[in-house]
Amino acid sequence: MQTYIIKNVEALWPKVNRTYHFDSNEGRSMPCDPKDANAEYSIQFRMDNDTAKGLYTEMAKSYQANRKDKWAEKLERPFVKDDNGMFTHKSTLKGAYKNETTKKPLQVDAQGTKLPDDFLLTTGSTVNIAVQFIPYDMGGKQSISLRLKGVQVIKHVPIEERNPFEAVEGFTINADNPFVAEAPAKEETVPEPKKVVNKSAPPPKAADDDLSAIVDDWDD
């Protein structure tokens, strides 16, 4: 199965070091055993228009090559576009298939050197993502999922140690202080989106057989 590399995208809420699943009691994703229900590795990512168009083109090719008779004529665009003209999407890998644990996605640095198993990728980091296209038909909706194979970290945004205190008069030390003198400005964080159930898509419109006609719809 061919691997496709999505290049120079921004990592969002990556969970690649271990499997997670959504915990309804906690209202968020929590670490779990790979064989637990709905356990998966995942990474959401933000990409520009050219990257999104290139990815969609390859996904559409895979869709057409694997399309069944009763499937929609063309691949519905699966990305979410924000107000800045950027697109977001997601790649996942189940923790286990048929009760057999899957191999954890590879994480490497910019030179291709394997990172430690517990390496924690962070939101805001720049990455390349290796995926495989998986056609599927679920509940009458047909699409292409992106099976996560690995991540190459181009630029890593480290987790900052937070100082809860403000500067006051008193004891000081001449050694380098890992904290800034003033309380840092509160970082604006983007909350991880809550899991929602997608409604069934309306019946697709008829499309030309030619793949180029499908891709030409991108800018509409």
Q: Report pTM.
A: 0.77
Give the pLDDT score at 94: 97
Distance CA(42)–CA(17), nearest Å, equals 9
Residue 215, domain CATH: 2.40.50.140
Series of mean pLDDT values for 10-residue runs along the chain (220 residues): 94 96 90 96 98 97 94 94 96 95 97 95 97 93 96 93 88 65 52 57 52 67
Give the pLDDT score at 214: 66
Give the pLDDT score at 74: 92
Report the domain count for the chain. Answer: 1
CA distances from 14 to 17, 31, 41, 65, 185 (A): 9, 12, 8, 30, 24
- How far is C-alpha 70 from the geometric centre of its chain's CA atoms? 30
Q: Is 12 within 8 Å of 88 (Cβ atoms)?
A: yes
What domain range includes position 177? 4-219
Query: What string of DSSP letters covers the chain?
Result: ---EEEEEEEEEEEEEEEEEEEETTTTEEEE--TTSTT-EEEEEEEE-HHHHHHHHHHHHHHHHHH--TTS-SSPPP--EE-TTS-EEEEEEEESEETTEEPPPPEEE-TT-PBPPTT----TT-EEEEEEEEEEEEETTEEEEEEEEEEEEEEE--PPPPP--PPP-SS---SSPPSS-SSPPPPPP--PPPPP-PPPPPPPPPP--SSHHHHHHGGG-
Give the pLDDT score at 25: 87
Give the pLDDT score at 209: 56
Query: What are the backbone dihedrals phi and psi of residue 158, each rounded to the nearest 5 degrees, phi first?
Result: -70, 155
